[in-house]
Amino acid sequence: MPQKEAEQLRDDLYYSNAIQAYIQTLPVLNTIGLRDGSEAAFGAGYNVLPIWKERMDSRAWVPTPNADVIYSMSYLDLKKTGPLVVSAPANVIGMFTDFYQRTITDVGAIGPDRARGGLYLLLPPDYTGQIPQGYFAFKSSTYNVFLFFRTIMKKGENGPDPAPAVALAETTRVYPLFTPEKDIKPMVFPDASGKRVNMMYPTDFAFWTKLKTYVDYEPSSSFDPVTTGVLASVGIVKGQPFNPTDKQKQLLQKAVETAPKMILASRQLGRPDQRNRYYKDRQYENTWAGGTAEWLQDGYFDVAQRAAYFQIAYSTAPAMVMHTLDQGSKYPFTLRDADGNFLNGSSSYRLHLPPNPPARLFWAVTLYNITDGTMPETPQLMPSLNGFNKVKTNDDGSIDLYIGPNKPAEAADTNFLQTVPGRNFLVALRLYGTGTEFFDQSWKPDDVVKLK
């Protein structure tokens, strides 16, 4: 083989491995983006719990945020603090995940506290001491842990009332297990609402430098051996210098630009096996493609589906996937209208919801940018409507929502969601406290219909 040909093939393999490294570690960088953006804006520490006290809107650059619950999110470092206790309020819908976004435990109705609240003990991966009584104790595979709590708003006089949900969230307490009470830092609850904050994963060479810092910080066991090998093939090895050549830097830069397009193309073209379709006669998709919260399908680990998810979303837990009556949640979403065409912000659409959505807690419809899951930013900063809003209903109890750049004449002000002209978007339907009618498909949302 000629020398130049061998060198070209070696570079091709390096680039291919960089693509795979991106796909395998996107969940990690997704969480790092959340942490770095949050801590830059609101501060760091086990006692700092930012809360979006007036709900999250499009000024927060976050993948598919939920504007219809109160978010509390923080980032715990068990290497710095040792074991941490989290006193979780009652009736939280939440979870703890490691920084690979593998669920440590659900919190709330599907968690061990069963919505009663309780003391969760988070143990670092190298913890070998005794585990005290009285806690829901879990060992994380990473030192870094993501705390993600959602509290449900009450129905107010003119729509959702966030105050009770905020008050509940502010009863959360986090403290190191072995720190005396007099030395525990008091909790701080920054109000994150209305702030312009970028909590997205990096889209430039910082992807690789942040990944290397993470690999050096966390135990090698937090990665599976295949991923560790893929990272080593591009020069990212725990405890060793990361010194790519100029050529390798070019290939790494190319990979961080091209891999997202590959993932997006796969989402656009769809799965050949159609496992991601919720219904045989609708366009709605299941982001887990009928698998588990751990991305397991029948006989294989679904790497491609996981990458598609973390490109536009974050956090996955059993409560979001299991068929749990009146307690869990479901998230059918669609990129296409009833004719199979991609939803475009220059066009106007109608979404018809039949009477009695099977959601014991509430339902919500939200718009997102198709490329990264952020909210489209328009004068309507919160592109979401839910069952607590004063939406206009039809005589039979059904609901027609209108979506487009301008409100159609037939649409009530309360039933309109605004889009950005020329930009593709997706529509997500959330059903919290999902009922039987969703699972047996006796209740199905209509497809989004383009208005003529």
**What is the arrangement of strands in the sheet containing 144-151, beginning at the earlier edge strand?**
70-77, 144-151, 93-98, 103-107
Per-residue pLDDT tens over the stretch 198-250: 999 999 999 999 999 999 999 999 999 999 999 999 999 999 999 999 999 99
- Start-to-end CA distance of the chain, whole Å, equals 61
Domain identity same for 97 and 177 = yes
Whole-angstrom Cα distance, residue 94 to residue 73?
Answer: 10
The CATH number that applies at residue 101 is 2.60.40.1610
Domain identity same for 55 and 183 = yes
Q: Which two tokens stand for residue 39?
A: 């801590």
Whole-angstrom Cα distance, residue 395 to residue 417?
Answer: 22
Per-residue pLDDT tens over the stretch 132-179: 999 999 999 999 999 999 999 998 887 889 999 999 999 999 999 999
Q: Is 367 domain-assigned? A: yes
Do residues 150 and 88 lie in contact, with contact meaning Cβ atoms separated by under 8 Å? no
Do residues 149 and 117 lie in contact, with contact meaning Cβ atoms separated by under 8 Å? no
Q: Is 279 domain-assigned? A: no
Return the number of other C-beta atoms located less than 10 Å from residue 220's C-beta: 11
Domain identity same for 192 and 209 = no
Do residues 48 and 185 lie in contact, with contact meaning Cβ atoms separated by under 8 Å? no
**In this structure, which amino acid lies at residue 91?**
N
Q: Is 83 domain-assigned? A: yes
- Overall average pLDDT of the 380-389 stretch: 92
Whole-angstrom Cα distance, residue 395 to residue 216?
Answer: 61
Q: Is 281 domain-assigned? A: no
Q: Which two tokens stand for residue 255?
A: 């990979």
Q: Is 35 domain-assigned? A: no
Place of tokens 């009833």: 338
Do residues 346 and 137 lie in contact, with contact meaning Cβ atoms separated by under 8 Å? no
Q: Which two tokens stand for residue 75?
A: 């980032």
Range of the domain at 426: 296-450
- Overall average pLDDT of the 435-442 stretch: 96
Q: Is 32 domain-assigned? A: no
Domain identity same for 47 and 152 = yes
pLDDT band, residue 8 (cuts 50/70/90): very high
Reduced to 3 states (helix: H, G, I; strand: E, B; else coil), residue 395 is coil
Domain identity same for 156 and 82 = yes
Spatial CA neighbour of 380 closest among 417, 343, 427? 417
Per-residue pLDDT tens over the stretch 297-326: 999 999 999 999 999 999 998 888 989 888
Classify residue 47 by its DSSP letter: T
CA atoms within 13 A on the CB side of 427: 31
Return the number of other C-beta atoms located less than 10 Å from residue 386's C-beta: 22
Tell me the angle at which helices 246-269 and 206-217 cross, rounded to the nearest 10 degrees. Answer: 100
Whole-angstrom Cα distance, residue 376 to residue 174?
Answer: 34
Please count the structural domains in the chain.
Answer: 3
Domain identity same for 139 and 74 = yes
pLDDT band, residue 1 (cuts 50/70/90): confident
Domain identity same for 323 and 410 = yes
Residue burial 329-340, b: 16+ Cβ < 10 Å; e: rest: bbbbbbbbbeee
Per-residue pLDDT tens over the stretch 252-295: 999 999 999 999 999 999 999 999 999 999 999 999 999 999 99
Domain identity same for 302 and 421 = yes
Q: Which of 151, 179, 198 is the last residue of a domain?
A: 198
Whole-angstrom Cα distance, residue 135 to residue 112?
Answer: 10
Do residues 77 and 140 lie in contact, with contact meaning Cβ atoms separated by under 8 Å? no
Spatial CA neighbour of 102 closest among 209, 30, 23? 30
Classify residue 415 by its DSSP letter: G
The CATH number that applies at residue 378 is 2.60.120.600
Domain identity same for 152 and 253 = no
Over 90: is that where the pLDDT of 452 sits?
no
Q: Which of 177, 198, 219 is the last residue of a domain?
A: 198
Do residues 244 and 235 lie in contact, with contact meaning Cβ atoms separated by under 8 Å? yes
Q: Which of 176, 198, 220 is the last residue of a domain?
A: 198
CA atoms within 13 A on the CB side of 114: 0
Instruction: Please tell me the pTM assigned to this model.
Output: 0.95
Domain identity same for 49 and 23 = no
Q: Is 247 domain-assigned? A: yes
Domain identity same for 329 and 433 = yes
Q: Is 168 domain-assigned? A: yes
Per-residue pLDDT tens over the stretch 388-423: 888 999 999 999 999 999 999 999 999 999 999 999
Whole-angstrom Cα distance, residue 298 to residue 143?
Answer: 31
Whole-angstrom Cα distance, residue 384 to residue 394?
Answer: 19
Q: What is the pLDDT of residue 285?
A: 96
Domain identity same for 61 and 186 = yes
Q: What is the pLDDT of residue 305?
A: 96
Backbone angles phi, psi at 174, to 5 degrees: -130, 130
